Amino acid sequence: MDHYKVIEHALIYIEKNIHEPLSLESVAKTFNMSKYYFHRLFSAMMGCSLNNYILSRRLNTSLNFIQNKNLSLTDIAYRLNFGTQSSFTRAFRRQYGIAPSSLRGKNETISQTPIPTVVKKPIKNINGDIVADFTLTEFQAIRLNGIVFEVDIATDDYKAKIRSYSKMLLNNIDETITGSCYVIYSDCQPNSSCFKVLFGVPHDVKLDSPYFFTVTIPQIFCARFKYFGDLLDIGDILTTDFARFLKISKQEAENSHIELIQVFDNLHNLDSTYHIYTPIKKLPIDSDV
């Protein structure tokens, strides 16, 4: 079974057994793995430890229970294996920023979140630590034609906005044109959640739009990661993968206005395989890993 399928099944298993006293050992045993390997695999795929994930899903489940006025907070804590009401309340406040009692008798609500998507990616074992497969490489200079716009990743609609603009461009590209397309994320201002997004292709394309641009992306030394699936499903996973990469490879992030570059193998299919390039400093001893 593929490693990401193991984790997908594990997430479903956890959800179905969230009321049970789950542990690293018990979950790993269900999938016939040693707890040490399963811990490394789960952390690499999900970006958090199994115990922290189970805790977050118990709290997610508690949201429905809290709406049930017939259940006391002590009952909820007992049902979800928190041991005591105080430990449940502390964990709930850490995750959601308010006490669980604040959701009763008031207009405040917190929506439950679905089981997260397992991001598909190749992995490798380096010195006993499982990490996303990476390569040190040069992103070659390229001239792109496309659309430029801004998104605020702190808002709920930024994914829809990126898809809308990408569709605007792709609808103007003939099906006979093949190859890659590029999504360039650059910072708008320091410590901001707003980013400029450049969605382009290395082909002559003309749009009657104020958002149209032509730009040359310079050569950049990068770490390259390979992912599969939707262009916007990686969420915080890349952040974790990049942090692990820096630790394992002993590299440093480059202070570049370009945050990352996504390159899709098939410009007509944004669910195709893609690579993410993140700028890093080029040290004298650098070589391909």
CATH number of the domain residue 53 falls in: 1.10.10.60
Confidence of residue 52 (pLDDT cuts 50, 70, 90): very high
First-residue to last-residue Cα distance in the chain: 26
Query: Tens digit of pLDDT for each residue in 218-232?
Result: 999 999 999 886 655
Tell me, yes or no, whether 183 and 236 share the same domain. Answer: yes
Tell me, yes or no, whether 113 and 138 share the same domain. Answer: no
State the pTM of this model: 0.79
> Which amino acid would we find at residue 269?
N
The reported pLDDT for the residue numbered 196 is 87
Tell me, yes or no, whether 10 and 87 share the same domain. Answer: yes
Q: Above 90 in pLDDT, residue 207?
A: no
The reported pLDDT for the residue numbered 136 is 94
The reported pLDDT for the residue numbered 237 is 76
- Cα torsion angle, 200, 204, 210, 216, sign: positive
> Residue 11: CA atoms inside 13 Å, Cβ hemisphere, count?
21
Residue 215, classed as helix, strand or coil, is strand
Cβ burial, residue 288 (10 Å; 0-12/13-18/19+) = exposed
Q: Above 70 in pLDDT, residue 244?
A: yes
CATH number of the domain residue 211 falls in: 3.20.80.10
Kindly state whether residue 285 falls inside one of the protein's structural domains.
Answer: no
The reported pLDDT for the residue numbered 232 is 57
Q: Above 70 in pLDDT, residue 3?
A: yes
Whole-angstrom distance, CA of residue 253 vs CA of residue 201: 26
Tell me, yes or no, whether 138 and 109 share the same domain. Answer: no
Overall average pLDDT of the 150-154 stretch = 80
Mean pLDDT for all residues in the chain: 87
Are 116 and 227 in contact by the 8 Å Cβ rule? The answer is no
Cα angle 125-131-137, degrees, rounded to a multiple of 5: 100
Confidence of residue 189 (pLDDT cuts 50, 70, 90): low
Are 231 and 157 in contact by the 8 Å Cβ rule? The answer is no
Q: What is the dihedral of CA 276, 221, 243, 127, to 10 degrees?
A: 100
Q: Above 60 in pLDDT, residue 288?
A: no
Q: Above 80 in pLDDT, residue 195?
A: yes
The reported pLDDT for the residue numbered 10 is 97
Residue length, the chain?
289
| Total domain count, the chain | 2
Where among 68, 89, 118 does a domain terminate? 118
Query: Tens digit of pLDDT for each residue in 153-179?
Result: 777 777 788 888 888 888 888 888 888
Where among 62, 90, 118 does a domain terminate? 118
Confidence of residue 239 (pLDDT cuts 50, 70, 90): confident
Domain span including residue 234: 134-279
Where among 118, 145, 160 does a domain terminate? 118
Tell me, yes or no, whether 167 and 268 share the same domain. Answer: yes
Q: Above 60 in pLDDT, residue 287?
A: no
The reported pLDDT for the residue numbered 234 is 61
Tokens 């309340």 correspond to 89
Are 140 and 148 in contact by the 8 Å Cβ rule? The answer is no
Whole-angstrom distance, CA of residue 87 vs CA of residue 249: 38
Measuring CA to CA, how many Å separate 144 from each of 187, 203, 218? 18, 7, 11
